Structure formats: structure tokens, C-alpha cells
Structure 1
Amino acid sequence: MRRSNFMLYGAALIIFSLALLMLAFPAEALQASLKGISIWWDVLFPSLFPFFVISEMMLGVGLVHFFGTLLDPLMRPLFRIPGIGGFVMAMGFASGYPIGARLTSQLWEKGLVNREEGERLVSFTTSSDPIFLIGAVSVGFFHNPAIAGLLAAAHYGSAMLVGLLMRFHGKPVVGNNVQKPAEGVSSGPIWRRAFEEMHAARLADGRPLGVMLQKALGSAVQLVMLLGGLVVFFSVVMEVLSSAGIMAYVYAGVDSVLSLFGVPVVLSKAVVNGFFEVTLGTKAAGNAESIPLVYKAAIAAWVLSWAGLSVHAQIVSLLHHTNLRYLPFAFARFIHGLLAVVFVIVLWKPLDAYQEALGAFMPQPDVTRPLTTMIVHALPTAAVTFAALIGTMLMMSLLFWIGKRCMNRLRT
């Protein structure tokens, strides 16, 4: 009881202090709000809204169950999650945070994953989307599209490694929320079972396509508005704390920690800003001057992988109605950030000679027109990424399935 009271009083004090700071710096709070709305309208709304709608539709028509059956031979032995998690991973990597958490919560609601499986899944499918990593970070902030290949290898490679590490999280649970084969699904070839699972899921949903689209649009609008509110809120918090001089003490503390590892202290602003919000952190890392590029890239990789408290709040809001816990997700974000830094340092020299060649294949969107850029570049890039990931995972799943069948025949 005392602990709960202490947390309640502490939260009340923090909220009251923030309210006083907003009253003390109203102009700064207003400008931060406008900045947050600009980020939401120019980046989040056009990039996330279509994926929220299409993911809802794909779940309703049974395509998620179709891919889940085909990917089951790959996802279960590697990540200890049902094959349906492979679809979530592809969508999460292609469209960015918080699509992975949104889909995971939907799978939990339908009883397709249990708590441990959901926690594993959301822990490594929360990642940046390719267009933000390439267009905003590499081109817009670093003014160096050649670095996109390195950041992508570090970010997505370490995410896959986090997924392999998270397979040791939790124990197998038998009971509620465990995926079961749909009624009427045969035990024949995997491709036949995939189509039967899709058909069974469509019959179980039962809604006409028009009603399904209407519900998907309404749900997507509500969710995008919620995420926009979180972005605006954290923008205001960062601005009023900076105006009050509080962030200066935080920067000093981070300076002392960075100096222990030989990292230039000028990057402390990027670390602190990135702890709260991805865009602010990566922009500060890219704009840092007179320091080696490898340090700037390492900090940007950490920011992208940690994702910022703004994204953490989005994840919590998406999972609040489930029994999935936040601490495993936070632990995975911390490990993901550290691994991404290690990846950048390890891959820096091997990829140094090829960065210019890699950059030549990277799109260079017009960062002065973010809304047009997102409509013209984001959707095609994300679609290609999703198709490539699904195709690769299907091939790997087929190889796993063939290998398992061969092993079973050799044993008999």
C-alpha cells in the first residue's frame, strides 16, 4: 500500500510540475505543440494510417492466417512464436513503430498468441520504417545517403538478434490464448492447410467487406489521433524542460557517462533527446559537428533502436487492454540499442568501402516537402520491403519444412 501511495504522489507531483512549467513558458509550449502536430501530420499520419487500415482488412479476410500457417515451420523453432508472427515481423519492419504492437494486440485478442509469445513478438518487431531511416535520418539529418546501408544493417540485424534472444523469455504455456487449428482444417500439405486456415478465418469473421472497411477506417483514425496526441505531449514536455534549464543538468550527467566510454560529449544532447523522442535524437546526432561520423552513426542507431519514450508510450497505449507486460519490452529495447551500437562499430570498417556504392541505390526524397515525400516514396518503399521480407521468410520456412520432413523420414 505504501509503495502504491508513493507512486501515486510521485506521479501527481510530476504532473503538477509540468502544468506549472507550461504556465511559466506558454509561448514555448505552443511552439512545441505546433512542432509536434507538424511531425504527426507530415510523417505519422500518411505513413501509418494506410497500414492500420490494410492490416485490419488482411486480418479480417484471413490473409494473416494464411501467411501464419506457411511461416510456422520457421518462426516456431527460431523465435518460439506461431508462424503468424512472421507476418507481424514483416509488417513491423516495413511500416515501422508501432505497427508491430498493434498487430500483436489484435492477435492476442483473437487468442492466436499467449502472453509470453506476444511479449516476445512485440519486443523485436518494434522498429523504424525504411523510409524514415533512409529519407529522414540518412538524407535529411546526416545529409549522407551512403550511411543508410550501415544504419539499416545495424538496426534490423540487431532486431533479429533480439528476437533470437527473446526466445528464452518465458516458459511454454498451455491454456488460454494458445493458437489452435481452425475447425475443419485438414492435416494435409502445408499449402492446403494455409488456404483452409484463411477460409476458416474469413467465415469466422463473417463481416461484409464494406462493413469491414468502415470499421477499419474508424479504428485507424482513432489510433492515429491517439499517437498524434502522444507526440505532441512529449514535444511540449521536452521544450518546457529545456526552457526551465532542467535539461542542462541531464546533459551534464550524460556527458560524464559518455566520457567514460570515449564518446564525444557533444553527443549528449542526441542521447538525451533520443531517450524521449526518436526524431529529436536522430536529428541532434546528425547535426553534431566536428566529431567522427562513426560516433554519430552509433548514437543514431541507438536512438532508432531504443525508440524513445514517446514510442514506448504508444506501445503501452496499444497493449493496455491485454495482459502483455511493459518490462520485457523495455528490456528488449535497451538490449536492441546496445546491440545496434555494437553492430555499427563492428561493421564500420567492412562496409566503409561500399557505403558510397550502397548510397547510390538509396532514394533521395525531398525532405523540404515531407508530406509529398511520404505519399510518393514511403508507400512504395514499404511495400517493396514487406514483399521482400515475406518472400525471404517463405523461402526459409519452406527449407525448414523440407528439412524437418527429411529428418522425420530418416528417423523412420
Structure 2
Amino acid sequence: MTRRSPLLTLLYACSAIALVIILVSHPETSFEAAIRGLQVWWEVVFPSTLPFIVLSEILMGVGVVHFTGVLLEPMMRPLFNVPGTGGFVLTMGFASGYPVAAKLTTRLREQGSITKAEGERLVSFTTTGDPLFVIGAVAIGFFHSEQFGFVLAFSHYFSALLLGVLYRFYSPFSPSSKPLEKNHLPLPLRALQAMHRARLRDRRPFGKLMGEAVQSALQTLLMIGGFIIVFSVLIQLFATIEVTHFLSAVLAVFLGPLGVPSAFSSGMIAGLFEVTLGAQGVSEVGAGIPMIWKAVVASAIVSWGGISVHAQVASILNDTDIRVTPYLVGRAIHAALASLLAYFCWKPITASSWFSDEDIPVFLPTTAEGVPVGNWWDSLLYSGLAAAGILLLLLLVSLFFRSRRFKRPH
């Protein structure tokens, strides 16, 4: 069925009409779900995402992305087959969560810094949850376990890097971006030189740069908020008309032969659409289910991200020629890799005396759903520390690659 097929048009029309009928027949349910979606966006997503989108736009405008591009070029191309500027997207994406990586990838593509294939590789493995959400909301807020947080974070982020290594072989014969010009200057000086040249090419005064960064961030966040509210209403309506229950019953039939407890079917269906509801559903499964299975399923749900996030990413990528299909395939692979890592690293991490569930720290005040309520300073603190740590690690690995690559035998 092609995009121009009349059957597809008829399917879209019938689906829209059916949704309108359901919406009109359940107005109170729709209103309450919309309020919950708006609350999550305003109290959690808006304050935790806005500072990083604004700062990332400013950093790109002043040339910092070119600075990191030169420093990380020796690592990003051999490992992930993307230019060094992808290291900036990797750092900000890991630190600030979805869909910031898609926004930055789109900006790099618009600037001509990456090719179409490189953009598809980059957005596929850099779209992750932020550490505050993975550890604070899911592990601490829902599962009340610090050990669970370390397992979830390790499986989530390490599997994303493994996905990046796998995706370096995606579209191997596609054109690549132009390698950086080399000269006799040391690497840090070349990085400073690239940053200065990029700043001169931009030519925008800092006031204008900051104003446009805020405007772009607000536009992106309004789009994200709209998707969150719409999917909050859809999920609640599906639950009201028993569609979710039906899909859960069907999924439970397939989980049995795979050895996965069928009790997870409801949480997995919720996680298919929205990551927070899915993780919460998994945490509410009976106490008789081993925690290792909860970690496996929760890790898969967090790495999948949910159709709500995918719709946000697709909307952002729509401004470029970057296709969404490789990203969706990458989300499925990421979920599978993360669940496998969670299964195999559960015992080594939980058996370690380094990690204890005693005196679990309170990251942030939480909503009724257990999601931390963000604020400007806490969001900047946790995400900023994560970004600094990730960037430092990438720089060290990049220097290692450069020393091994250019080391001459005596």
C-alpha cells in the first residue's frame, strides 16, 4: 500500500472519524486525560528540556559544535561512521533525553555538516532518555531501587552505543561528509580555530542568537506538548473502550512461549505508546515476579521510547530529507539490546557491595504518577553534570583513538 493509495486515504479518514466519535462520546475522560498530559508537559518536560534546547542552539551558534567536532573526529568516524560533530549530538542527546538529539541532528543537516545517511545513523542511536528520567523517575520513583537504576542506566546507554557501532554499517556506500582539513597545528588549537571560523560565519550578535534560540526552543516544546496531550488522550480512550485490554490479552499469548511472564502484557502495551505509563505499569506488576524480569521489560520500554516520542522525532525530522524508518528500526534493536544487557548484568551489579538500596536519594519532588517535578536549577544541574561527564569520556576515548592511529613506530 503506497502513500498515494486510495485505500490508505480511506483508512486515514475512517480512523479519524472513529476517533472523533469516541472523543465526543467520552468527553469527561478526554478532558481529564488532556489535563494529565498538560501537567506532565508543564511540570516535567518543559522545565527539564527548555534549558538544554536553548543552550544547544547557543552553543551551535558560537561554534562549540565545531570545536567538539574537531576533538571527537578521531573517535566518531571509526566507531560510528559519523563526523566529529556527531559527538555534540551524542553528548546533548544522552544528557537531556528525547527528542533533543533529533532537533540537533536536524540543525546539523540543515547546515550541511552531515549527510543524509549520517543523519539517519546519528539520530538512531543518540535518541535516549536522560539520566534524571531513567534513574530518578523510573528506577527511584517507580521501582524504589537504586540498584535497579544502575542496571537500567547501564543497559540503556551502553546498548545505545552498541547500536551506534552496528549502525556504522548502515548504508555503507552512501556519500560521507567531507573530512576535516589537517594542518600542522595541535589538535586543541585546530579545534579553537574551527570554533572561531564558525562563529565568524554565523555573524549573529549574541542577543539575536539568544532570542532565536529561545524562539526555536519554545516552538519545539509546544510541538512536544501537543503530542504529549494527544497521546495522553488516545491512551486513556483506548483503555476506556477496552482496546488496551484486548491487546494485552493477545500479547500475553505470545509472551508465554518466550518465557516472559504474561503479567507484563499490560505494561508493555502501555509502553508501546508512552514510555512513562509503560514503566509505571511494569512497576505495578505483582511482587511474585522476579525483579530481574522487571528490569528486562522496563529496560526494553525505556529504550523503545514509545510511539509518542517517535511522533515527535518524525515531526522534527520532517524538515529534512532524513528518513524515519531507520530510526524506528533502531528503536526496536535498541530495545532488544537493552533487555539482553539488563538480563546479563543484573546479577553482577546487584551482587556488588557498591550499590545499596539503603537511604535512596530523593532527586526531585514527584507528581502523583511518581514522575519528578522539574525545575530550572535541578534540571540544569543533573543534565549539566551528565553532559560534562559524557563529553569528558568522549574526549578521552577520542585522544586514545588519535594516539593509536597516528603513533609511529620507532
**TM score, norm. by length of structure 2:** 0.94
The answer for the alignment partner of 1:44 in structure 2 is 45
Please state whether the residue corresponding to 1:323 is helix, strand or coil. Answer: coil
Instruction: Choose between structure 1 and 2: higher helix proportion.
Output: 1
* Correspondent of 1:262 among 226, 244, 259: 259
- Superposition deviation, residue 264 in structure 1: 1.5
2:162 maps to what in 1? 161
Aligned with 1:305 (options 286, 303, 310): 303
- Give matches, 1:320-399, under 5 Å: 320-354=318-352, 357=355, 359=357, 363-368=361-366, 373-399=374-400
- SS of 1:357's equivalent in the other structure is coil
Residue 188 (str. 1) matches residue 185 (str. 2): yes
- Alpha-carbon distance in structure 1 between the residues aligned to 2:353 and 2:258: 26
> Could you say which residue in structure 2 is the equivalent of 1:235?
232
TM-aligned CA deviation for residue 241 of structure 1: 1.2
Is 1:217 matched with 2:187?
Answer: no
1:204 aligns with 2:201: yes
Report sequence identity in percent: 39
Could you list the per-position Cα deviations for residues 226-267 of structure 1 after superposition, in whole angstroms to 9, with x for gaps in the alignment?
000000001111111111122221111111111121212111
CA distance in structure 1 between the aligned counterparts of 2:3 and 2:200, rounded to whole angstroms: 51
What TM-score, normalized by structure 1, do the two folds share? 0.94
Q: CA deviation at 1:364?
A: 2.1
CA contact (8 A) 1:150 1:355 kept: no
Distance 1:109 1:359, change over 3 A: farther
Matched residue type, 1:288: V
Amino acid at match of 1:236: V
Q: Is the 8 A contact 2:140 2:360 kept in 1?
A: no
Distance 1:371 1:322 in 2: 34
Distance 1:362 1:331, change over 3 A: farther
The residue type equivalent to 1:33 in the other structure is A
1:244 paired with 2:245, answer no
The secondary structure found in structure 1 opposite 2:355 is: helix
Find the aligned partners of 2:200 and 2:396 in 1 and give their Cα distance.
28
Deviation at 1:289, TM superposition (A): 1.4
Counterpart code for 2:218: V
Q: For residues 114-129 of structure 1, what are the structure 2 equivalents within 5 Å?
A: 114-129=115-130
Separation in structure 2 between the aligned mates of residue 103 and residue 72 of structure 1, nearest angstrom: 17
Q: RMSD of aligned C-alpha atoms?
A: 1.9
Can you list the C-alpha shifts for 1:307-350, whole angstroms capped at 9, x where unaligned? 00000001001100111111100000000001111011111111
Matches within 5 A, 1:12-23: 12-23=13-24
- The farther-off stretch of 362-371 and 375-384 is 362-371
Between the aligned partners of 1:359 and 1:220, the Cα distance in structure 2 is 37
Q: 1:400 to 1:331 in 2, by over 3 A?
A: same
Residue 401, structure 1, aligned to residue 398, structure 2:
no
**Structure 1 residue 173 displacement after superposition:** 3.5
In structure 2, give the amino acid aligned to 1:93.
F
Q: Name the CA shift for 1:217/1:376 in 2 (closer, same or farther; >3 Å).
A: closer
Whole-Å Cα distance in 1 between the matches of residues 234 and 98 of structure 2? Answer: 21
C-alpha distance in 1 between matches for 2:278 and 2:50: 24
- CA drift of 1:366 comes to 4.1
Counterpart of 2:315? Answer: 317
> How big is each residue's C-alpha offset from its partner over 1:262-307, in whole Å with a ceiling of 9 and x where there is no partner?
2121111110000000110011011111311111111110110000
Contact 2:272 2:306 in 1 (8 A): yes
Q: Give the Å deviation of 1:374.
A: 4.2
Assess, with a 3 A threshold, how the Cα gap between structure 1 residues 161 and 101 changes in structure 2: closer, same or farther.
same
Given that residues 147 and 355 in structure 1 are in contact (C-alpha distance below 8 angstroms), is that contact kept between their aligned partners in structure 2?
A: no
Gaps of 5+ in 1: none
